[in-house]
Chains A and B, each alone.
Chain A
């Protein structure tokens, strides 16, 4: 098993016929991901990549039974597209888009609060359950089906962790890229909780970065409820205060959200903290097998 996406998901692509959407949808389909169609307003009725195109998300839900959506919608229209998916009854919404205005996300977060759906991202690489469904922009071939869950705010740094886990002889249950923005739909804690409750996940890699309190919140939850080894890394030990380091959410505001402060809390909560990102794979192997 796995969490959030698997071979039985019914996935649609919002922004299906655009350049980004087409490119990544094609890669997802080639991986074997169960894509049932896509949405591009005004292009309903067309066929694209051998899949049906719908005008609205609710049409895709009605006609194709869609329950999962991945968004490749430009920043200025992305908040609207997320709300459309939530309103149509999509259960897992994955927003890849980088650069959505913060005030749009404040509204989106309030809009989806009472709806039965989970938003992943925005500004994320997506989710993959290896061998079943790749719902994102990650390179599929570095993943292997297995029993390690990965949660991360970053893209390429997640691939790095995946690669190390694979090279250390293990595989991944589900890898969740939660995104690098100040407001994300699913927090580190929520993603860790999903994997902690997944019977087919034996260990969790948790990768954070400077800014915010998500890793500290997750660590305190793990201390109370954790049943599996967690290996943690925080990127940005050398980042200066007050500067945004690429990701909109990666900015040190006070003493609490530095990499050092987060790593200290993580260690106190029983997480196997690695100082170097080169040690993620081997540390997980040791944590599982002693």
Chain B
């Protein structure tokens, strides 16, 4: 689960981390109020308008603007609110439809009073799968695309692995601050910043913290100017307060609905829908669709109980996509009996009236033969198969 920038910053602030302060607005009037409040605190007319959507690269799409007066604030707040913001990370990228901006953050000028005395760093915390430890990734090259920095100047990206039982140690904090070229008060503040950041990461069961830029200002304070936080969905039971921050409007509505039925669904661009039990087999089924000349329209794992109700919900969700020209159902029955799934398919089909695309049902495992008979004798326009290669051939046939 991802947080918005303003939510992520609130979380960091609750751990004593200094952030670029800001106020959320959902209308131009609120933005004006926020601007007046923020600028009265800072004593300058400068502020930043930042679109709040779950995607990086917001600046590239015009979703982040520096304003130097109330007039500029009104203009940019008006433009950014309710725009369809396209960034390299929104669905379809810069060519896609973009994401609707329904909230903006009016943030203070974190670079005051002396822009030239500031320095930007990059800092993130995540779990490293190779070492099975948390790692702090940091760089002197802040405010830039870190993947690009890692590719072009890998020696400028540093990693500090943390012992899971001991937590982060003092020498590690000092090493990070030294490697970032800091001294004096800024050095000391950086060690405190990283210590608090790591504590916040572990305590909130996060899967990613990314502070970019992480700023050293003219007062030698370390400030989180932007922050991206992803939380581990599996740990939200420990954090009911954080679970409430979920913004479902940022997620694909069909995927949210599928989840409410216990279906694991990911929408894709292809022409053949699929319904499978098990994530690995679902990915393998998508691959088979591709090898048979189609393109998968979705990933859909129906889970362990593929009964009639669930099969029907899955059908309805897949068929909502007008690009779907065929559906492949691939169930390997273990604990789930194939004859029950077959009955589920027949019932769902009858309940739904007319399904206008060809359906291929491949049922293997427990009672597969009985299942094939049920499908074949149902009188429905359904092709049945038992072997995987037979199902692949049928996909090819219906697409031809």
Contact = CB atoms under 8 A, between A and B. Distances in A.
A138 interface: yes
B283 A209 contact: yes
Contacts of B286: 236-239
A179 to B, nearest CB: 11
A160 interface: yes
B184 interface: no
Given A107-B165, A160-B388, A278-B392, A213 B129 contact: yes
Contacts of A75: 234, 237
Contacts of A69: none
A15 interface: no
Contacts of B280: 152-158, 180, 207, 209, 235, 246-247, 250
A156 B334 contact: yes
B130 interface: yes
Contact of A278 (B232, B332, B387): B387
A164 to B, nearest CB: 8
Contacts of A159: 332, 334, 365
A183 B283 contact: no
Interface in A195-216: 207, 209-213
A237 B268 CA distance: 13
Interface of B is mostly: mixed
A275 B289 CA distance: 12
Given A183-B129, A236-B287, A239-B299, A250 B238 contact: no
Interface residues of A, number: 61
A238 B134 CA distance: 30
B335 A139 contact: yes
A237 B282 contact: no
B144 interface: no
Interface string B174-206: 000000000000000000000000000010010
B163 interface: yes
A103 B281 contact: no
A248 B280 CA distance: 11
B198 to A, nearest CB: 12
B232 to A, nearest CB: 5
A118 interface: no
Contact of B281 (A139, A160, A211, A275): A160
B277 A102 contact: no
Interface string A131-147: 00000011101100000
Interface stretch (B18-26, B210-218, B290-298): B290-298
Interface in A213-262: 213, 233, 235-240, 243, 245-250, 254, 259
Contacts of A276: 287-288, 291, 389, 392
5 contacts: A157-B280, A183-B129, A212-B129, A245-B283, A246-B279
